[in-house]
Structures are given as structure tokens and as C-alpha cells.
Structure 1
Amino acid sequence: MNLLPLILIGLLLSAGVLLLLLALVMRRRSVSVDDRLAQITGGAQQQDAAVDLRARVDAIVSKTERGSRIGRDLARADLKLTAGEFVMLKMGSAVLVGLVAAWLSSQFLGTFSLPAAAGALLFGGVLGSFLPDLYVKIRARSRITKFNDALADTCAMLASSLRSGYSLLQAMDLVAREGSGPVATEFRRVVQEVGLGLSTEKALENLYRRVPSEDLDLMITAINIQHEVGGNLSAILESIAHTIRERVRIKGEIRTLTAQGRISGYIITGLPVALAIFLSLINPGYMAPIFTFGFPPNAWCCLPVTSGVMIVAGYFAIMKIVNIDI
């Protein structure tokens, strides 16, 4: 049985899904202000089928608890996607990676095996569905790290602005205009939310939801307490800036001291996988018995699954040892 035509059709379908999603995102971004106002007032024209499908998916996903978590994670990663669009992206990624895994399995074995192709398709589909989540988490973690690195200078800027006679909102607007990176983006959003009618406490609470940082929580708590009982906010922010700088310095020293352990974890985790891929490429027949389905399926099930579980468990154990919280 030749699997190549089926895989090519699947690849084209998955590519079409991804292109459709991209077109929907670009169309949503290019909608003019007049069109959006017409939609709000009820004067909008009838939407086409693709946009209506996206709206239906957004409506279904946003009503679930999973949809709210997806929206929160997308906000933390600063991705201009809705929860429904992200779910469609996950589905397209699952189909694409699953078909690629099925094709690779047939190439490694040298012949088509339905059980092996089905297992590779299932494994690749599950892996592909998690790839967008992994990208969002990595992007959000990187963004929070950049925010934390600049938060000490931000507190110092706020303190200086308050000392010179600015109000807190004016000081935040100065940070939004003079800052850069995630700090400027997030404080600009805080100023915009306050301008739209939210209280400062609620806007700062939304900021912490988008950037879950312990240092930011310390700053927000100090601002809220100062609003309740009064006090010299500029002096408090200066003290917080000094505390944040010391924490960043200590974290950097700890990260330097634990670098060897982290690199060891990466090498120990990646070496078996890289070696298996390399041997499969240069000599597919040598690795074929491991992935050959039999009765009982001792090699096909036990060896790869047990090896994968042990590799993942060892990686998390090493990361738990070298991850020191302060």
C-alpha cells in the first residue's frame, strides 16, 4: 500500500487550514474602525462564511474554562489571537505533525506498516497539538523575564516622577512613553484602561494577571496600601527598586552556579533522542525492530515508551534540583 498520496493530501489539507487561519487573522486586523462601529450599531453587512466560522468557534471556546485560560496565556505572551483561532491553530498543527510522523515512520521502516503508521500518526498528532502551547509558554516566560529585568528601573522612574510632582497615572504614562519592551507595552495598557473608566486598582490587577511576577506583585501591593492608608509612595518605590535589584543579582549568581547542572540535563535528555534519530537515518533497518509491532507487542510498546518516560522523568528531576527559588 502506497501511503505517499494520502500523506500529500493530508499535508495539503493541513496547510490549507493554517493558511485559512492566517487569512482570518489578517482580515480581522485589517477591519477598519467604521466597519467595527457598524457591527456594534447593527449596520454591518453579512459576514462571509469563513469569518462567520471563526466567530462561531470563538463563541464556543470563550464560554469554556479552557478558553479563558487560553485567553490569559495569549495575553501573557502578547499574541494577537483569540482563543478560537488558537484552537484552530492547534488542530492544524496536530494534523500536520501527525502526517509528517506517519510518513517518517514508513521511511524508517522501509515499508508501510498500518499499525506503525497509526501509532506514529497518533503520537505526532498529540505532539503537534502541544507545540503551539509550548511556544506560547516559552514566549510568555521570556516576556516575563524581560519585564522583571526592567522592573527595578521602572520603579526608580516612577519614584523620580512622583518626587517631581507627577501623579501616579502621569508617572505610568511617562514609563509607557519613555520605556521599551514589555514594560512600556503593559503600562501603556494600564493607562488606557484607566482612561476608559477602570480604577487604578483594577487596572493594576489586570496587569498582574497578564504578567504574573512576584516583584510586580510587591510593587502593586505597595501602591494599593498607599492608596488605603497614605504615605510617601516615592520612598516606598525606591526601597522596592533596591529590593528587586538585589533579587535579580542573586538570581543571576544562582543561575551561573547551576549552569553546569542545567546543561547536563539538556545533554542527557537530548542525547538518546538525537542518537536514535541519527541511527534511523543512516541505517533504518538497525532501528526497525524497536518500532515493529508484534504479538505480544513487547519491543514496540515497552522499550520506546519506557525509555521516553525515564528520559522525561530524569529531565524534570534534574531541573527540580537546579531550580532554586529565592
Structure 2
Amino acid sequence: MLLIVVLCAFVVFLLVVGVASFLRSRRDDSDERIRSRLGALAASDADVETVEYLVRRQMSEVPWFNTMLQQMRWAANLSRLVSMAKAPGTPGLYLLLSLTLGLLTGYAVFLLSKMLIAAAVLAGIVGYIPIWWLKRRCTKRMDRFQEQLPEALDLLARALKAGHTFGGGMRMVADEFDEPIGSEFGKTIDEINYGMDSDRALDNLLNRVDCPDLKFFVVSVNIQRETGGNLAEIVGNIARLVRERFKLHGKIKVLSAEGRISALILTLLPFAVAGVLFLLNREYMSLLWTTELGRSMAIGAACSMTLGIVIIRRMIKIKV
């Protein structure tokens, strides 16, 4: 009984801290603009240690929780994920939300079924939902970036042919294109204007954006600066290459649609059948969690389904 009371108090505490962190994280965009300018200043001749201290990304609006997260290495990956997804709030907010959802789900399932393993599994699945949402948002943003990249490179190549400088062409891309490529190229040109080397500014762009096709552009520009050559022609050829890769990726996605639909059906079918049987005959389905043999069968089925989903995903996921 004492354990339940302590667990409930901890859940309520997480809820309060999470709500407070979310409300405090709804800052004006001026804070982000100031942080971006200071980040560019960190590469100039200013006091680097001081600037890096100022631009250190906040993991949470709660001071003690922020200090704890900054000492954990894996929290940096979560912070990068939030930044790439351009999601509202801080990494600490999503971590608290995951813990809260997981604890509430696990506690509710354990009270209803008295099955510790099932409670732990469902708690992990539900607690992962905020992280899954971040990854999905990041994937959609990166896919949009990849769609915009060929047109942006074409614009940059035309600007170079018209006599503009590389920085001027980058500024044209930042002004003409919307989110996300416009803002990311804008950050890069701001870093260059504040004194950062072009090589380092482009490397920062690669770190902010998870787009394999962007590496062709960055590597080509860096090589051209050292060896010389027609940059406009190089950028134009990269744009055509990226466009062809994008078309090939679309064809592969169409060809693998049958496998993806089959994986979805095979994943949802057992749950649909179990739900229908539960509505038709609850006593028959209750054997899965009221008897030892039923619980063993349910755990074995869950493990087999998880293994099957992993295998199917690896089969239909083709890298271009």
C-alpha cells in the first residue's frame, strides 16, 4: 500500500513539473533568434567559452532537472532530435511526459490485470509515444527538406551563373524558400556573415539536418574551394543527381507498397481478431490473462509478433 501511495505521489509530481515546464517553454521567438546569433558569434574571435556558456541549450525550464539532464550523454541526442524536429518545448518536457504516460499506463494495467510483465510492456509502449511523435515530426521535416533541395540548388546555380557570390546565392535561397530549407540556409548564411568559416558553417548545416543528399553539396563546395572549378556547374549537376535519386526513391516506395500494407495487416489482424472474440465471448478470451498457460501464450505471441515486425521492416526498407 505504501508503494502505491509513493508511486501516485511521484506521478502527480511529474504531471505538475511537466505542465509547468510546458507553460514556461512557450517563449517568444526572439529568444531563439538571440541564441542563433550568439551561436554564430561563438565561431568568431569573441570569448568562445563565454559564448558557448550563453548558447548552451536548455534541457528543461526546471533548474535542477536541467542540470541533471546536462550531465547525461543520451540527453544530448534527445536535444538534437527536438531541435531537428523543431518541436515546441524542451527535451526535459518530453522526457517527463514519457515517464508520466508510462507510469500511469503501467499502474492502470497492473491494477486491472495483476500482470507485471504486461504492465511493463504496455508502459514502455505508451511511454515511447512522445519520442515516436518527435521522430515522426523530424522525419516529415527532413523529407520536406529533401524535396526542396533540388529546387534550392537550381536557384543557387542560376544565381552563381548570373554573377552573384556564393553567400548571395545562399541568401536568395533563404529568402525565396519556406520552412525548413529556408530557415536552415538562413542560419548558415548568418553564421558566415558573423565571421564563421564557410567550411564550418556548412558542417554545422549537416549537423542540423539529417539529409544524405546534402552531403554531396557540402563536400563538393568544400572541394571546389580548395581545387577550383565552375561552382555553378557543380551545383547544377548535384541538383540533377539529387532529383534523380528522389525519383528512384519514389519508385522503390511504390514497388514496396505491397509489403508495407501486408506488414500493417499482419500486425493489426491479431488485435482485431482478439477484440472481436473478446466482445463475443469474454470468458473464452479471459483465459489469456487468468491462467498461467494463457499468460505464457500471450507473451510468446507478443515476442513472435515483435520479431516478425522487425524482420518485415528490414525486408521492405530499401536504402537508395
TM-score by length of 1: 0.79
1:64 and 2:41 matched: no
Match of 2:217 among 219, 244, 263: 219
Q: CA-to-partner distance for each residue in 1:38-89, whole Å, 9 max, x for gaps?
A: xxxxxxxxxxxxx997122122212221011111111221124333333222
Unaligned runs of 5+ in 2: 36-58
Q: Secondary structure at the match of 2:300?
A: helix
Match of 2:299 among 295, 305, 321: 305
Q: CA-to-partner distance for each residue in 1:281-305, whole Å, 9 max, x for gaps?
A: 554333211112x5xx3321x2122
Amino acid at match of 1:64: M
Question: What is the rounded CA distance, in whole Å, between the counterparts of 2:179 and 2:282 in structure 1?
Answer: 48
Match of 2:135 among 137, 152, 165: 137
Q: Secondary structure at the match of 2:99?
A: helix
The alpha carbon displacement at 1:11 in A equals: 7.8
1:97 and 2:97 matched: no
Question: What is the rounded CA distance, in whole Å, between the counterparts of 1:80 and 1:234 in structure 2?
Answer: 38
- Report which stretch shifted further, 6-15 or 71-80: 6-15
> Is the alpha carbon distance of 1:272 and 1:157 closer, same or farther for their aligned partners in structure 2, counting shifts above 3 Å?
same
> Is the alpha carbon distance of 1:199 and 1:273 closer, same or farther for their aligned partners in structure 2, counting shifts above 3 Å?
farther
The alpha carbon displacement at 1:244 in A equals: 0.8
Would the aligned equivalents of 2:84 and 2:138 in 1 still touch at CA under 8 Å?
yes
Q: CA-to-partner distance for each residue in 1:168-221, whole Å, 9 max, x for gaps?
A: 222111111110121112112212333343322222212212222221011111
Q: Secondary structure at the match of 2:84?
A: helix
Question: What is the rounded CA distance, in whole Å, between the counterparts of 1:32 and 1:78 in structure 2?
Answer: 15
Would the aligned equivalents of 2:206 and 2:215 in 1 still touch at CA under 8 Å?
yes
Amino acid at match of 2:232: S
Match of 1:84 among 83, 87, 92: 92
> Is the alpha carbon distance of 1:161 and 1:149 closer, same or farther for their aligned partners in structure 2, counting shifts above 3 Å?
same
Q: CA-to-partner distance for each residue in 1:73-132, whole Å, 9 max, x for gaps?
A: 1122112433333322222222333345446xx2xxxxxx5x33x444433322232112
Amino acid at match of 2:84: R
Would the aligned equivalents of 1:58 and 1:83 in 2 still touch at CA under 8 Å?
no
> Is the alpha carbon distance of 1:68 and 1:218 closer, same or farther for their aligned partners in structure 2, counting shifts above 3 Å?
same
Q: CA RMSD in A?
A: 3.1
1:190 and 2:188 matched: yes
> Is the alpha carbon distance of 1:87 and 1:14 closer, same or farther for their aligned partners in structure 2, counting shifts above 3 Å?
closer
The alpha carbon displacement at 1:30 in A equals: 4.6
Would the aligned equivalents of 2:24 and 2:61 in 1 still touch at CA under 8 Å?
no
TM-score by length of 2: 0.81
1:40 matched residue in structure 2: none
Q: CA-to-partner distance for each residue in 1:2-39, whole Å, 9 max, x for gaps?
A: xxx9999898666544422322212xx15987xx99xx
Percent of aligned positions with the same letter in both sequences? 26
2:20 matched residue in structure 1: 20
Amino acid at match of 1:74: V
The alpha carbon displacement at 1:323 in A equals: 1.9
Aligned residues: 293
Amino acid at match of 2:21: L
Would the aligned equivalents of 1:62 and 1:84 in 2 still touch at CA under 8 Å?
no
The alpha carbon displacement at 1:239 in A equals: 0.4
Amino acid at match of 2:101: S
The alpha carbon displacement at 1:307 in A equals: 1.1
Question: What is the rounded CA distance, in whole Å, between the counterparts of 2:192 and 2:104 in structure 1?
Answer: 43
Question: What is the rounded CA distance, in whole Å, between the counterparts of 2:63 and 2:308 in structure 1?
Answer: 43
Q: CA-to-partner distance for each residue in 1:198-249, whole Å, 9 max, x for gaps?
A: 3222222122122222210111111111122121111001001111111111
> Is the alpha carbon distance of 1:313 and 1:151 closer, same or farther for their aligned partners in structure 2, counting shifts above 3 Å?
same
Unaligned runs of 5+ in 1: 38-50, 107-112
Q: CA-to-partner distance for each residue in 1:117-158, whole Å, 9 max, x for gaps?
A: x44443332223211211111111111111111111111011
Question: What is the rounded CA distance, in whole Å, between the counterparts of 1:278 and 1:195 in structure 2?
Answer: 63
Q: Secondary structure at the match of 2:62?
A: helix
